[in-house]
């Protein structure tokens, strides 16, 4: 599980870096911007970063599902610990005088 978590962190950091390296088209999600700017300028770099983002996102989801499956398989020890009810504290009774 530790190895999967380490791989997950590496994939996550690489995915964040890849997303941040991509050039914004400046359109503000369709709310204006320069209409003459092409979304596909510098096509080679854009394609590489887009493909890298897609591959990393796929690896992220596969690794997440794999970690969930491993965690569910190993949850028996956690259920034993969480299944036991803690001892309830007793409240001292007042003694009549």
* HSE, side-chain direction, 13 A CA sphere, residue 9: 5
Q: What is the model's pLDDT at position 29?
A: 52
Q: Residue 97: its pLDDT value, please? A: 64
What's the pLDDT at 81? 55
Give the DSSP letter of residue 22.
Answer: S
Residue 27: DSSP 8-state:
S
pLDDT for the residue 57: 96
Question: Would you state the pLDDT for residue 27?
Answer: 54
- Degrees (nearest 5) of the Cα angle 9, 13, 14? 115
- pLDDT score, position 62: 96
Question: What is the model's pTM?
Answer: 0.59
pLDDT at 82: 60
Q: Which residues of the chain have pLDDT under 50?
A: 32-33, 35-40
DSSP letters, 29-89, are TTSS--TT--TTSSHHHHHHHHHHHHHHHHHHHHHHHHHHHHHHHTHHHHHHHHHSPPPPP
């Amino acid at each position: 599980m530790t190895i999967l978590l380490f791989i997950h962190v590496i994939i996550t950091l690489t995915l964040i870096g890849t997303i941040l390296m991509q050039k914004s088209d400046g359109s503000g999600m369709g709310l204006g911007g320069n209409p003459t700017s092409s979304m596909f300028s510098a096509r080679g770099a854009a394609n590489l970063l887009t493909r890298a983002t897609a591959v990393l996102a796929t690896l992220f989801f596969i690794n997440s599902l794999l970690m969930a499956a491993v965690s569910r398989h190993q949850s028996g020890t956690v259920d034993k610990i969480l299944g036991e009810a803690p001892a309830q504290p007793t409240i001292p009774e007042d003694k009549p005088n």
